[in-house]
Every structure is written in structure tokens, then in C-alpha cells.
Structure 1
Amino acid sequence: MTTRLLAQWARFLGARCPPASLTSFPPLHVQAESAPVKTFQMHPLPPVRAMCEVRSLIKEIDRSQVPKRTELDELIEKAGSPEEVLQLWAEWGGSGNQAASSFVRLAKLSVEKGNLDRTALMQDPRLLDMLEKVSSQVATVWNGTLVILLRALSQLGIAPGDLVMQSLQTEALWRVRRFSYKQLAYLADWATARPGPEGEELLRSVLKQLELRWMELADVRTISLLMARARHLSPSLMDKLEDKALELAEKFSAEDIRRVALSLASQGRRAVPLLRTLSYHLHQKPSAELNTPLLLDVAYAYGKLNFHQTQVFQRIAAELLSRKAEFSASNITRFAKSFAYLKWLNLPLFESFTEHYIEDSKKYSTLQLCNLLLSLARLNFQPSKGEEFYSKVHDALEGVLSGLEPFLQTDVVWSLCVLQQAKPQYLQSVLDPTFQSKLSGRNPSHTENYRLKLLHIAAAAQLENLCPLGTPASSIPAIPAITRESRASPLQIGLKGALQSLTGNRDGAYRTGVDTVYGWTIDGELVVDSETKAIDLLGLEAPHLSGGRGGSPIPPGAQRVAFLVWEFPHYISRSKELLGRFIMQKRHLQLAGFLIVEVPYFEWLELKSDWQRVAYLKDKMGKAVAEEMAK
């Protein structure tokens, strides 16, 4: 920093003070004759450097400060074992910087060997002599060596409170302004895992310098390293790092992209421009760089951030299908779970997942099988070899399902209901009143969500003839209906207005936002006669409502019509296929006696006027009635 300031001052001084010449003095005949002539001895000034020469000035100064390499330095670099390093030090000795280099090399070799007795190593007199030399001459240790030495001491298990460690941390704290940006990044990476007040003070100083000098950042490795420690960085520094990553994304390797994507996912930072840029460059990488663990982490990060990039997903699917022989149970369940979060279904890929389970079902743990079932249910994927697949699934769940954690057990049974593979014995345990009391202890919205799933399971038992152990549907324990307050979407508001116009503004002729005893919400409800004209709902029995079984039955020939609004999030990505949850909703309401009128968002948005929407609903109702009569 001082060098840069000096260079800038020199430039301005040179610009303001023109070089001395004979023309800068007045002519001799103008001077008074009586005045004594003063002579000035002109000393040559150093040449003024322009701003473009600052880097060369810095390099010259740095080069003059770097000690010459000795034979000992070369021998240490060539050493192949910790014992050889210790022997070289015992024979040659050296300065504090050479002791630090020797210790770094020794730590690296001991980690590579892996089977050394580190306790005995740390008690070796030669190593202790190296540490004593470093501690007594810490001021002579180079900056880069000092940063690496701190990490090496940690690798060999030296405690944070050790005198040598404290001495080195204090020295690093004093030098924090002299470190390069890359050295600061590595020091921050090390300090984030160091407990104690000394480590915290050093980390604060390093992070402050990183934020002040962020313009010096020009290395992609440093960017990815810092972003991996995002939870310790300030939001402003993270914003600057994202800008730098966007600027240098072209130079990122596949591993750098993986690291940055994971750091964004860990902080929930959905930086869309950066993610799009990373996706583009990831798609250009050769297959040799895209190993399976890297693809796993990228799929996880995109799923966590709910970031959709179809080209990247297709590339991942193509890479995985070419490596079917490398599949493992863990990889399959993780990929399936990430793609399920993203609502992205690749039929050949998921088909290969289920085939792998059929071939190697014994390699799957119960938890892995549960995650696979949850993913298939979310996407409503039915394998081509369904009978063989579910036969193995039921064999694996037998005897272990009731022992699962209550929330996970509810998820598994609910998923089997979605896939229409639930058995009566699965429903018996979750519909037991004592089991329902176990679904508590978490935040209210989470508990309410699982109560809703129990309502769906109970609806499956009643409507799909899955009563536990052959008991009648009336004996299934009643689960209180849930009334949820939610803000209506623009599409639901538009449907309400269209129903109001369709029924001639008769309030008793339609319902909207109907919460049923089955746990499903009907966006709009009508009862129409044989001519598809709406009749008054008031006074008619409504078995789908809580306490609505009283009243007169609907007239002969009349039909209950349920309008279901399908928003964009209800569909599988890049598809017009509904997610498994909404397929089950449609199936249950049909079994409950409703004619289903589906209102997809992509059709509704094309209707620009109220009369078009009313005509659209009439046409859909007419088709639904005609299909029911054809059955």
C-alpha cells in the first residue's frame, strides 16, 4: 500500500515540477550587476515513474526482500518422509523461515502417510527445536509461509492455546495489512475453524481487510474459497464477491462452480444472474470434469435454491444415464430427492432409478427407500415394472414401517396413497388416535401440514376402500377438519367473479374456497341440474363439509361440480402433468361424487373478458357432464 502511494505522489510531483533547464532562469542582462551571482549545484533526480509502472516497482521491491534459496530449501522440497525432513534439519539447521518451511513439509508428508504416530512425532527433539526456532525468529518468516504454517500446526494437532500458536497468530495479526489478498483468503479460511478469542480477533481483522481491499480480488480460486465461508462474511462483502464471480465466471473450473453453487445454497442466496452464468459455463464443461459427486452437489444446490435450468438438468441426466453401472443407493436417492424438489421428471432417468432398486434392493437402507418413495410420489412417477418394484418395496417395509419416526411414517404412508400402493395395515397405525398425538412438538404450520396429510390418508381409506383390517369406513377415527386462512390468487379471484356471473349473482348458488372433510380445498362448487343450470345450494346436504350431512338430498339428475384451479406451481416443470398431490386430490373428489372441472392457468390467462370466462366454464361443465353420462 505504501509503495502505491509513493508511486502516485511521485507522479504528481513530477507533473507539477518541470525539469530544471537554462530557460528556467532569467537572462543575465536582466539581473542587477551589483548582485552577487549564486551558483546552484544540481543533483540528478530519480526518474519519475508513471502509474503504469507501479507493478514493476512493486515487483522490484518484493524481489529485493526475498532471500536467496539455499541448498537446504531444495533438499526439504525433495524430502519424501517426515524422518528425512527431521534429519535434514538436524544436520543443516537454518533460519526461522527455513524452520517454518521444514515444518510445513513435514506436516504435509505426515498427512499423506496417514499411519504415523503423531504423538511421538510431536515429542521428537528435532521437531521441538524447529518450533523453538520459529517462535524465536517469527519476524523472519515469510508471509506465505506464515499462513501455511498456521494450517500445518493445526493439522498436527497443536492446541490453539500453545505458545507457538499464539505467537504466530499475534504475528499474523500485526502483519494483516501486508498480506496479499490470496493470503488473506486462506488465513480467513483457517481462522473460521479456530476457537478462542485470539482466533476471533484475527478473523475480524482479516475480514475487515478483505472487505476494504476487495478490488484486488482477481483469482477464481480465492473467490470460491471465500464464498465457501459465506456464513462468516458480511452481506456487503458477499455482494461484492458475487459481482466478482460474475465477472470471472468464464475462468471457473467445474470444481469452482460446484463450490460457489454450494455456498449460495448454504446461505439461501438465490443470485439468479450468477446462477445463470454458472449454468452456462457448467454446460460447456467436458464430461471428464463432471464427476458424479460434483453433479450431486450441483443438483442439490439448484434444488435448495429452487433454481430451474433445463439444459443443465438434461446434461446431468445424460451424464448419469451413461454411468448406470456406477449407480449407488445413496447417489440415486440424493438425485431423486433433488429433482423432486425441482419438480423435474426425466422418464428414462427415473426408470433407471427404479430398475436399480429392483436389482439391488438389499443395498438400500430404510431411510433411503423412504426418500425414494417420497420423490416418486411428488412427481407421480409410475415405473414400467411397477408390480415387481412395489413387491420389493412392500417386502422391505414389512415390520419396519411402524418403527419409523412419526413424521417420516406419515410421509411414507401418504406417498404410498398418492401412488395408490397403500395397504390397510399401513393405514392402521397412522390413523390410530394415539399416533395422532405424536405429531406435535414442531412449529404450528409444520404440525398443521401433517394433520392435513392424515386427513388425506383417512380420505384414501374411506374413498378407495382401504379401511384398515377390513373395518367399515364409519369406524375410522374422525380427524377434525382444518380451516386454513390463505390469500386468494388472481386466478381464484377471477374464477369467483366468473361463477358469480354464471349464477346470475345469486350468493346461495355457488361456493368458493371450500375446505372439505377430506383435507382438500375446492376452489369453486356448483350443483347443476340435468340442463347444467345452477340450483340453490342452501338447504342441500353436503357430506363433504364438516357438519353438512343435514338437509335434503340433491334432486334427481342433478350433479355436484367441483372447479379446481391449477396454478403454475401445481405442474411438473416444463410439462402439463400435475404433481402427485394434485392427482390424488382430483381422484378423491371424483370418488366423493363430484364432477371435476379443471381450470389450468395456461388456458385461463388467454381469456380476456368476463363473457369469455363464463363461456369457458359452461363449455367445460358441458364436457364433464357428457363424459359422466358416457360412463
Structure 2
Amino acid sequence: MILIRHFPASAAIISVHVKSFHQSCPSSSTMASRLLSRYAHLLCRASSQAPGSAVASVSRLPMTVTPPVEVQRTEGWPQISKRFMHEKSSLATDDAVWDQTSFSKVNDLMKKATVPEDVLQAWVEHGGDANMAAISLVKWTQLVRKTKGDFKMDSRINEMLDTISAQVSKVWNYSLVSTLSSLWIIKIPRNDSRLLSIEQEVLWRVRKLTCKQLAFLVTSAADRKDQQVALILSTALKHLELRTTEIIDTKTVTDLFVKPHHLSPSLKQKVEDKALELAESFSAEEIRRILLSLGIQSRRNVPLLRALSYHLIQKPSSDFTPPLILDLAFAFGKLNFHHTQLFQRMVSELMPHVPQLRPSEVTRFAKSLTFLKWLNIPMYEALTEHFITNRAQYRSTEFCNLLMAFARLYFLPSNKDQFFTELHSLLDKSISDLHPLLRTDMVWSLCVLQQANPSYITPILEPQYVAKVLENDKSGAENYRLKLLHIATTLSLEHPGSSDLEPPSSLLTSSVLPTVSPMQSSLRESLQSLVGERTEALHTGVQTPYGWNIDGELLIDCDNKPINWPSGDDQSLPAGARRIAFIAWEFPNFGVKSKDLLGRFVMMRRHLQLSGYTLVEIPYYEFLELKTAWQKLAYLKDKMGKAVAEDMAK
């Protein structure tokens, strides 16, 4: 009514149209649509001549001044286009309704398809446009991979490709990216014009793709070695890095973690920051994939690890499946990340499933706990029972790795007699066939656990065998040199007289100088204060012929007073004298949350005691509490007196 009052000329025209529409169009909705569309043009023309007050009273919308020869729209009339409003209803023609119905029908058939032939049959019977062809091709590819079939190109597949290529500009973005990924999987020839057109279309549309589609494109192109694919990958990565803030779903983040090799360091950091932001929303499976990827890359992002661990603990028990627990243990072990509460949850959830685990899974889990230096006795007892029960299924590498895990943590099972009996029976059959490095590790582990027979030790101390071991692993030659020296020490100290074999001279020389930690440096300064002016009575940083280093070596008389070492070739000690060895036990020498030494250092203690030393052990959790030089000096005197008294009591 406001329009009619301010524009009387237009009102007369409207009344004429209304009468004619009532006679020709009984449908009121159709009449209203046509009336409004025709009157819009009159309004636009009249608005340029209408007074300002009238215009303001209509809708307060800004008007454009238009020439009389052309009808223009007002800026405030958003839905008026070159297509008249009454023409909108003409879009719903019979053909359009048929296409939509056909599309829905074919799409339903695709969802129900279980074998590749179902997809091809649906396409032959119903056909469709480029989008339907793209959906069909992607579904066919998925089913072929699922059924492990062959990607055989036939006329129906070629028809799909031709349809997509001919109407490639009309294919939806997600369907286009999925189609390109499928063509890479199918391995269409590089010079195929249809593949080239789809790749070019993707390049043109990169700016329009969502972050989810860009991530899918990156993960699909990550393993392809082709110049054109490399261009698509680099372009997608460039746009993805600029738009990481747009990522809102966990699947996109997880997919980027799965194939991170082509991500730049800055993009990796942005993806990890986004994962930290979305940590609460990840499912247990997504957390597993992220942690596994971090472990493989050795990327120790502590804030992200803490956040994912916290939210993982909140998950129900049904999410803690054995594969998930094994992968988590591997990732945490590789990253040396400790979360005791989560570890205890993992162990409690896995314990009922241990009897159903395969030997390879048992070994893998034991090694992961070993890397973490975390000894959970009930779990290791369960792993021991698994070995005893299923020993026939264990391969040589598997039971060797299980034994090495036990040796690192110095774990002796409660039924150790039965365990080692079964182990020795397997070793007698296979030890000669082991790789030299694995055989050395195996015998060294037996030495740690005091289960090495001379028959195991003697063959690997032969000069030819030693040379083979040191040549096989150049980077780890020093580590294996020490292990062979420890094995030789075990033979001479723990099995005296069993063999006259001397360790090769190559084991006694080392070009690697041991590093001195702050605790060792502080201990040596305190030892200098202990001996006072008799500095020649103290030796620091002693490298023994047994492969072990001593922080301080001191000779004392029967009154615990330092005395000078014998000079010249006379190595005999004065009557009543004792050799004191001061050893600093630091944090890495112990298990996590434990005051028990790891197996390597238990063997060191045993060897030094057998060689005639009285050990004064200085653990870090005691020594680092001492703040003054006077406290350290009094502590060392007290520890030395107790060590001598215990040695005399033995």
C-alpha cells in the first residue's frame, strides 16, 4: 500500500495487471510471483524520479540513478536478476525432475554396491552426468582395492572417463579431487588426455578447494613420483600452509600426520599446533595414528604428547584394543615420553589379552617397555608365561629380543628355572645360525642375567669372529667392542679356569674418550678434598681392563686412611690395604620411578666386586641433595666407612 500511495501511476498499472492475472491464472501464488516481478521493473524506473521522502518511506534502501533507456536494479533489492522472478518456477521442468531422481537412484545403488561389477552395472543401466561418472569411478576404485582385484580398463570405465573429461568444469570439487586420486591409483598412462585435463582442472581450482580437500589431495599425491603430480602437490601444500587456521575437523589433521614427509617444517609445526587445539576432539584411533606418526618421525612435541595422553586416559576401555596399546607403547618408547598413569592403564587393559597375542607382538611390547626403562613385574611375568606356553611358535629373533628386554631391565622371572631351561633348549639349536651382531647381543644379555655358559662365550671371542662383528657395524663398533669386552670379563671372572682364551688386543683399545657429567665432575672435586694433600693416592676417570670406567680409585689402609699406590712393577697391595672404587650412579642408570639399577650396571657392579674392588656407590638422588662442600665430604667419608664395614662382614 505504501508503494501505491507514493506512485499513483504505477498503481493504475498494477490494478490492470491484477485483473488480467485473475482471469488468466487461477493460481494465486503464480499470479503473485508474476505481479511482483513485473512491478519490480516499474519500481526501479519510478524510483529515479520519486521524491526523497517517498523513497525513504518505502524501505530506506539506497537507489541508483538510472538512464531512462535501461531498467536498473536498486542496490537494496538483492534477489532481482536478469532472469525474471516468475521464470524461477520454470526451472523445475520434467527433465530436471527426472535427472534429480535418476541421480538419487544411481547414488543409492553406489552406496549399496559390494563388488566392482555392481558399480559398472548401475552405470550401464542408468548412466548420468560427469558428477555421477566421478562418483561411480571413485566407488569402483574403492571396491577393487577392497576386494584386491585388478584395475582392468574396459569400455564402461572409459565411458566414465570420457564423460568426466568432456564435462570436467561441472564436476564438484570433492568429486574432482577423489577422481584424480582414483586415476593415480588405477595408474592411468601419463600421456592420457583425460588424466591431463583433470589434473589441469584441479590446478585451476586449488584456490577454491577447502582445507579438507587440500589435505586429501596432499595425502593422495604424497607418494607419487611425477613432475605434474609434484606441481599439484607443491601448489596444494602452499595453499594449505596459508590456510591452516581454517582446519576445523580432526580427520584433516590426522590425514596430514599420516604422510608428513612432504610437509615443510613450518607446516608440520602448524599442523601440530592445530592438533593441540583439537586434542579433546580426537578419537582413540586418531590419537593412535598421530602418536604413531610422531614416533616414526622422532618428533618429540611434549605439549602435544601430554595433551593427547591426558585425553586418551578419559577414553572407555572398549577403545583400548591390543593393536592400539602396542602402537602407543612403540610411540612412547621411541619418543622416550613417560606418563605413568597412562602406562598403568595400558598394562591393565592389555593384561587379559596377553594369552591371545602373537610372539611378535609380545616381543614388540616388551621392547617398548624396555626403551621406556619401565619394569612392570606383573606384565613381564605374563610375557614369561606366554613364552613358556607358546615356545614352539617363537622364532629365534623373537625369543632373542625378549631375552634382551629382560636383560636391559634386569628382570628375573619368578619361574626363572623353567624359563631359562626352555630358552637354552631353543638356543642350542639356533645360536650358531644367528647373525653375528644378534648373537653378540644374545650372549651379552645372558651374561647380564648370569646365564651364559662358557660354550656360548668361547666361540665369539675368537679373533676372526671379533673382527667380523666390528666390521659389520662401523657406526656401533664402540658399543660392540665394549660388549665383547664385558663378555670376556664374564668368562675370566665368573668362570675362572674354564678357558685360557684371552680377549683380542683390538678389544682393549678405544679411541672414544668418555664424557664427564656435572655430577661426576662435582664428585671428583669432593674426592680431591677427601685425600687432601695426598693427591697421588687418588686416581680419577680410571678405565679398567674390564670395559668399565671408575670415577675415583683410592687405596686405603686398615684405618681407612689414604695411602700411596705401589710404584713400578710391584702391583701387590700392602697388608690390610683395600682398593676403593667410587661410582656415580646417575638418573639414566636406573629404571623409571625406581631405585633399581638397569641390567648393564648390575653387571658392572658384579664385575668390579669380583675384580677386588670395594665399591662406594653414589646415587644421584642422594648426592644432588648435598649443597656444600662440607656436606659432600662428610657424606663420602660415611659412605666409604659403611662400604668397608659391609665388605668385612662378607
Residue by residue, what CA displacement relative to the aligned partner does 1:305-364 show, whole Å, maximum 9, x if unpaired?
A: 111111111111101112233222111100000110010010000000011101110111
Structure 1 Cα separation of the partners of residues 504 and 560 of structure 2: 37
- How big is the shift at 1:91? 3.0
Structure 2 Cα separation of the partners of residues 204 and 459 of structure 1: 58
Structure 1 Cα separation of the partners of residues 367 and 396 of structure 2: 15
Could you tell me which residue of structure 2 aligns to residue 580 of structure 1?
599
Could you tell me which residue of structure 2 aligns to residue 250 of structure 1?
280
Q: For 1:430, which of 440, 444, 460 is the aligned residue?
A: 460
Could you tell me which residue of structure 2 aligns to residue 232 of structure 1?
262
Could you tell me which residue of structure 1 aligns to residue 553 of structure 2?
525
Could you tell me which residue of structure 2 aligns to residue 626 of structure 1?
645
- Equivalent residue of 2:207, what SS? coil
- How big is the shift at 1:211? 0.4
Q: For 1:566, which of 576, 582, 585 is the aligned residue?
A: 585
- How big is the shift at 1:127? 2.0
Superposition pairs for residues 432-511 of structure 1, below 5 Å?
A: 432-441=462-471, 444-465=474-495, 470-472=498-500, 475-478=502-505, 479-482=507-510, 484-511=512-539
CA contact (8 A) 1:358 1:389 kept: yes
State which drifts further: 104-113 or 518-527: 104-113
CA contact (8 A) 2:537 2:563 kept: yes
- Equivalent residue of 1:596, what SS? strand
Structure 2 Cα separation of the partners of residues 466 and 382 of structure 1: 24
Structure-2 change in CA distance of 1:159 and 1:512 (3 Å):
farther
What one-letter code is carried by the residue in structure 2 that aligns with 1:288? S
Structure-2 change in CA distance of 1:555 and 1:164 (3 Å):
same
Could you tell me which residue of structure 2 aligns to residue 90 of structure 1?
124
State which drifts further: 552-561 or 97-106: 97-106
Could you tell me which residue of structure 2 aligns to residue 33 of structure 1?
none
- Equivalent residue of 2:635, what SS? helix
Superposition pairs for residues 92-241 of structure 1, below 5 Å?
A: 92-114=126-148, 116=149, 118-119=151-152, 122-123=153-154, 125-241=155-271
What one-letter code is carried by the residue in structure 1 that aligns with 2:106? L
Q: Which runs of 5+ in 1 are unaligned?
A: 1-19, 26-37, 50-65, 541-549
Superposition pairs for residues 53-72 of structure 1, below 5 Å?
A: 69-72=100-103
Is structure 2 residue 393 aligned with structure 1 residue 359?
Answer: no
Could you tell me which residue of structure 2 aligns to residue 266 of structure 1?
296
- How big is the shift at 1:443? 6.7
What one-letter code is carried by the residue in structure 2 that aligns with 1:526? L
Structure-2 change in CA distance of 1:21 and 1:208 (3 Å):
farther
- Equivalent residue of 2:547, what SS? coil
- How big is the shift at 1:24? 14
Superposition pairs for residues 595-606 of structure 1, below 5 Å?
A: 595-606=614-625
State which drifts further: 157-166 or 449-458: 157-166
- How big is the shift at 1:287? 1.2
Could you tell me which residue of structure 2 aligns to residue 77 of structure 1?
108
Is structure 2 residue 584 aligned with structure 1 residue 553?
Answer: no
- How big is the shift at 1:290? 1.4
- How big is the shift at 1:86? 2.2
Structure 2 Cα separation of the partners of residues 565 and 348 of structure 1: 30
Give % identity.
Answer: 47
CA contact (8 A) 1:82 1:109 kept: yes
Is structure 2 residue 567 aligned with structure 1 residue 539?
Answer: yes
What one-letter code is carried by the residue in structure 1 that aligns with 2:542? V
State which drifts further: 282-291 or 590-599: 282-291
- Equivalent residue of 2:326, what SS? helix
Could you tell me which residue of structure 2 aligns to residue 297 of structure 1?
327
CA contact (8 A) 2:109 2:122 kept: no
Structure 2 Cα separation of the partners of residues 406 and 398 of structure 1: 16
What one-letter code is carried by the residue in structure 2 that aligns with 1:510? L
CA contact (8 A) 1:481 1:516 kept: no
Structure 2 Cα separation of the partners of residues 552 and 375 of structure 1: 40
- Equivalent residue of 1:438, what SS? helix
What one-letter code is carried by the residue in structure 2 that aligns with 1:188? V
Q: Which runs of 5+ in 2 are unaligned?
A: 1-49, 56-64, 80-95
Structure 1 Cα separation of the partners of residues 411 and 208 of structure 2: 59
Structure 2 Cα separation of the partners of residues 47 and 584 of structure 1: 88
> How many pairs are equivalent?
568
Bigger radius of gyration: 2
Structure 2 Cα separation of the partners of residues 374 and 265 of structure 1: 22
Structure 2 Cα separation of the partners of residues 284 and 176 of structure 1: 39
What one-letter code is carried by the residue in structure 2 that aligns with 1:135? S
Structure 1 Cα separation of the partners of residues 103 and 475 of structure 2: 67
- How big is the shift at 1:438? 1.1
Structure 1 Cα separation of the partners of residues 151 and 78 of structure 2: 56
Structure 2 Cα separation of the partners of residues 73 and 151 of structure 1: 24
What one-letter code is carried by the residue in structure 2 that aligns with 1:508? E
Structure 2 Cα separation of the partners of residues 528 and 351 of structure 1: 44
What one-letter code is carried by the residue in structure 2 that aligns with 1:204? S
Structure 1 Cα separation of the partners of residues 563 and 354 of structure 2: 59
CA contact (8 A) 1:571 1:579 kept: yes
Structure 1 Cα separation of the partners of residues 609 and 123 of structure 2: 84
Structure 2 Cα separation of the partners of residues 361 and 564 of structure 1: 40
Structure 2 Cα separation of the partners of residues 24 and 486 of structure 1: 95
- Equivalent residue of 1:230, what SS? coil
What one-letter code is carried by the residue in structure 1 that aligns with 2:603? M
Structure-2 change in CA distance of 1:144 and 1:536 (3 Å):
same
Structure 1 Cα separation of the partners of residues 325 and 379 of structure 2: 14
Structure 1 Cα separation of the partners of residues 325 and 397 of structure 2: 22
What one-letter code is carried by the residue in structure 2 that aligns with 1:308? H
Residue by residue, what CA displacement relative to the aligned partner does 1:493-548 show, whole Å, maximum 9, x if unpaired?
A: 111111111111332111111111100001111011101111112517xxxxxxxx
Is structure 2 residue 436 aligned with structure 1 residue 386?
Answer: no
Q: Report the TM-score when normalising by structure 1.
A: 0.85
Structure 2 Cα separation of the partners of residues 161 and 397 of structure 1: 58
State which drifts further: 172-181 or 335-344: 172-181
CA contact (8 A) 1:160 1:195 kept: no
CA contact (8 A) 2:141 2:186 kept: yes
Could you tell me which residue of structure 1 aligns to residue 25 of structure 2?
none
- Equivalent residue of 1:209, what SS? helix
- How big is the shift at 1:489? 1.1
Could you tell me which residue of structure 1 aligns to residue 627 of structure 2?
608
